[in-house]
Amino acid sequence: MAKRLYRSESDRVLGGVCAGLGTFLGIDPILIRVFFIAWTVLGEFSVFIYLLLWMIVPSDSSAEADGAFQMNDLGTRFHQMGREIGEISRQPSSELIIFTGVGLIAWGVYYLVRRLVPYLDLWAYSQYLWPAMLIIAGVLVIIRTMRKK
C-alpha cells in the first residue's frame, strides 16, 4: 500500500499541514514548522502554499481520506477550512501562539538587521538560502529514514 499524505488532526497547530508533512517525510513536524516560518519571513509564497495544501490534502480523520482529491469537493473543503479557522481563532493552542511569536520575532530581527546594516543585503543571499535549506531538509529526511531502519 502506498504511503499517502494527510493533514494531522491529532498533532495540528494550525491546519495540520506541517504535522502531516512531517509524518509523511518521517521527520519532526517542528522542523517543517520552522521551515514554513523561515519561508514566510523571507517573503516567499509560503502562506499561499500552506493554504493550498490545507485545502487540497485531506484530513487523516475525514471521510474523504481514502479517496483522491476531486475538484467538485473544493467548495466543501473550503467551508471545512473556514470552520477550522474559526475554531482555531476562538481557542488558539499554546503551540500556535508560540510559533506565531517566534515568527514575529524572526521577522522583526530580519527587518531590523536590514535597516541597521544596509550594506548587508540579506535579500541578495536568499537565492542561496532556499537551495541550502532544501539540501539540509533532504539530508535530515535521509538521516531520519536511515535511523528507523
1, pLDDT greater than 60: no
Q: What is the pLDDT of residues 13-72, one digit of tens each?
A: 888 888 888 888 888 888 888 888 888 777 667 888 888 888 888 877 765 555 565 666
Q: What is the pLDDT of residue 125?
A: 62
47-51, 86-90, 130-134 — most confident range: 47-51
CA-based nearest residue to 15, from 66, 74, 75, 87: 87
The beta strands (E) that lie in the chain are given as none
Q: Which residue has the higher pLDDT, 36 or 114?
A: 36
Q: Would you say residue 139 has pLDDT above 80?
A: no
Cell digits for 10? 491529532
Q: How far apart are CA 42 and CA 143, in angstroms?
A: 27
Q: Is 3's pLDDT higher than 80?
A: no
Tell me the C-alpha to C-alpha distance, in Å, between residue 72 and each of 38, 46, 49, 65: 33, 25, 20, 15
Residue 129 pLDDT: 67
Provide DSSP, 15-40: SSHHHHHHHHHTS-HHHHHHHHHHHH
What global pTM score does this model have? Answer: 0.61
- Residues 6 or more apart from 116 whose CB is under 8 A from it? none
